[in-house]
Amino acid sequence: MSDDPDLEDLKAQTSQGDRLDSEAEKMDRQDLVEDIVDELEAIDAGDQQKTVSVWDGQLAAFIRALEDNPEHLNAVGHGLQERLDIEGGDVDRSAILRLALRVGFQEAAPEQFEAVREAVRKQATKGL
Protein backbone atom coordinates (compact mmCIF):
# COMPACT_ATOMS: atom_id res chain seq x y z
CA MET A 1 0.00 0.00 0.00
CA SER A 2 1.29 3.47 -0.83
CA ASP A 3 1.98 6.18 1.74
CA ASP A 4 1.27 8.86 -0.88
CA PRO A 5 -1.88 10.76 0.27
CA ASP A 6 -2.60 12.04 -3.25
CA LEU A 7 -2.61 8.50 -4.59
CA GLU A 8 -4.94 7.33 -1.82
CA ASP A 9 -7.32 10.26 -2.47
CA LEU A 10 -7.35 9.44 -6.16
CA LYS A 11 -8.13 5.78 -5.43
CA ALA A 12 -10.99 6.74 -3.12
CA GLN A 13 -12.47 9.15 -5.67
CA THR A 14 -12.21 6.61 -8.45
CA SER A 15 -13.78 3.77 -6.52
CA GLN A 16 -16.63 5.97 -5.30
CA GLY A 17 -17.26 7.25 -8.82
CA ASP A 18 -17.38 3.70 -10.14
CA ARG A 19 -20.15 2.79 -7.71
CA LEU A 20 -22.11 5.93 -8.56
CA ASP A 21 -21.64 5.37 -12.26
CA SER A 22 -22.73 1.77 -11.87
CA GLU A 23 -25.95 2.79 -10.12
CA ALA A 24 -26.68 5.37 -12.84
CA GLU A 25 -26.12 2.73 -15.51
CA LYS A 26 -28.53 0.36 -13.74
CA MET A 27 -31.16 3.10 -13.64
CA ASP A 28 -30.59 3.93 -17.31
CA ARG A 29 -30.92 0.25 -18.19
CA GLN A 30 -34.14 -0.07 -16.21
CA ASP A 31 -35.50 2.95 -18.08
CA LEU A 32 -34.62 1.21 -21.35
CA VAL A 33 -36.26 -2.02 -20.16
CA GLU A 34 -39.44 -0.14 -19.23
CA ASP A 35 -39.48 1.63 -22.60
CA ILE A 36 -39.13 -1.73 -24.37
CA VAL A 37 -41.96 -3.20 -22.27
CA ASP A 38 -44.14 -0.22 -23.23
CA GLU A 39 -43.35 -0.79 -26.91
CA LEU A 40 -44.06 -4.52 -26.62
CA GLU A 41 -47.42 -3.77 -25.05
CA ALA A 42 -48.21 -1.26 -27.81
CA ILE A 43 -47.37 -3.91 -30.41
CA ASP A 44 -49.58 -6.47 -28.64
CA ALA A 45 -52.41 -3.92 -28.50
CA GLY A 46 -52.07 -3.20 -32.22
CA ASP A 47 -50.97 0.39 -31.64
CA GLN A 48 -47.51 -0.20 -33.14
CA GLN A 49 -46.35 -2.37 -36.04
CA LYS A 50 -44.01 -5.31 -35.69
CA THR A 51 -42.16 -4.42 -38.87
CA VAL A 52 -38.76 -2.80 -39.19
CA SER A 53 -37.63 -1.35 -42.52
CA VAL A 54 -34.18 -0.49 -43.77
CA TRP A 55 -33.00 1.17 -46.96
CA ASP A 56 -29.81 -0.53 -48.07
CA GLY A 57 -29.20 -1.50 -51.69
CA GLN A 58 -26.28 -3.81 -50.98
CA LEU A 59 -28.14 -5.64 -48.25
CA ALA A 60 -31.26 -5.90 -50.43
CA ALA A 61 -29.17 -7.40 -53.25
CA PHE A 62 -27.57 -9.88 -50.83
CA ILE A 63 -30.92 -11.01 -49.44
CA ARG A 64 -32.45 -11.40 -52.92
CA ALA A 65 -29.42 -13.41 -54.06
CA LEU A 66 -29.79 -15.65 -51.01
CA GLU A 67 -33.44 -16.20 -51.89
CA ASP A 68 -32.37 -17.22 -55.40
CA ASN A 69 -29.86 -19.67 -53.90
CA PRO A 70 -31.67 -21.66 -51.19
CA GLU A 71 -28.56 -23.61 -50.18
CA HIS A 72 -26.82 -20.33 -49.31
CA LEU A 73 -29.97 -18.98 -47.65
CA ASN A 74 -30.10 -22.05 -45.42
CA ALA A 75 -26.37 -21.91 -44.65
CA VAL A 76 -26.58 -18.25 -43.60
CA GLY A 77 -29.77 -18.81 -41.62
CA HIS A 78 -28.44 -21.83 -39.79
CA GLY A 79 -25.17 -20.02 -39.07
CA LEU A 80 -27.12 -17.16 -37.50
CA GLN A 81 -29.24 -19.60 -35.50
CA GLU A 82 -26.07 -21.23 -34.16
CA ARG A 83 -24.66 -17.84 -33.09
CA LEU A 84 -27.83 -17.25 -31.07
CA ASP A 85 -28.03 -20.81 -29.72
CA ILE A 86 -31.40 -21.31 -31.42
CA GLU A 87 -32.46 -24.72 -32.64
CA GLY A 88 -32.23 -24.98 -36.40
CA GLY A 89 -35.43 -24.65 -38.33
CA ASP A 90 -36.76 -23.32 -41.57
CA VAL A 91 -35.33 -20.00 -42.63
CA ASP A 92 -36.71 -17.43 -45.00
CA ARG A 93 -36.07 -13.78 -45.81
CA SER A 94 -37.73 -12.54 -42.64
CA ALA A 95 -35.92 -15.04 -40.42
CA ILE A 96 -32.53 -14.14 -41.94
CA LEU A 97 -33.06 -10.43 -41.35
CA ARG A 98 -34.45 -10.92 -37.85
CA LEU A 99 -31.59 -13.21 -36.85
CA ALA A 100 -28.94 -10.97 -38.42
CA LEU A 101 -30.23 -7.94 -36.51
CA ARG A 102 -30.22 -9.89 -33.27
CA VAL A 103 -26.67 -11.15 -33.82
CA GLY A 104 -25.53 -7.65 -34.70
CA PHE A 105 -27.12 -6.06 -31.65
CA GLN A 106 -25.84 -8.82 -29.41
CA GLU A 107 -22.30 -8.32 -30.70
CA ALA A 108 -22.26 -4.52 -30.84
CA ALA A 109 -24.42 -3.65 -27.83
CA PRO A 110 -24.71 -6.69 -25.56
CA GLU A 111 -25.88 -4.78 -22.47
CA GLN A 112 -28.60 -2.92 -24.35
CA PHE A 113 -29.66 -6.08 -26.15
CA GLU A 114 -29.92 -7.87 -22.81
CA ALA A 115 -32.49 -5.20 -21.91
CA VAL A 116 -34.69 -6.65 -24.66
CA ARG A 117 -34.51 -10.10 -23.10
CA GLU A 118 -35.25 -8.66 -19.67
CA ALA A 119 -38.21 -6.69 -21.03
CA VAL A 120 -39.65 -9.77 -22.75
CA ARG A 121 -39.36 -11.76 -19.50
CA LYS A 122 -40.90 -8.88 -17.56
CA GLN A 123 -43.81 -8.55 -19.98
CA ALA A 124 -44.40 -12.31 -20.00
CA THR A 125 -44.72 -12.42 -16.22
CA LYS A 126 -46.57 -9.13 -15.79
CA GLY A 127 -50.00 -10.68 -15.34
CA LEU A 128 -48.89 -13.49 -13.02
Q: Exposed, middle or buried, 105 (CB in 10 Å: 0-12/13-18/19+)?
A: middle
For the chain, give the mean pLDDT: 87
Q: Which amino acid is at 28?
A: D
State whether residue 104 is helix, strand or coil.
helix
Query: For the segment 22-81, what is each residue's pLDDT rounded down to a tens digit?
Result: 666 777 889 999 999 999 999 999 999 999 999 999 999 999 999 999 999 999 999 999
Q: What is the pTM of this model?
A: 0.73
The whole-number pLDDT of residue 25 equals: 74
The whole-number pLDDT of residue 16 equals: 53
How many CB atoms lie under 10 A from the CB of residue 91?
Answer: 21
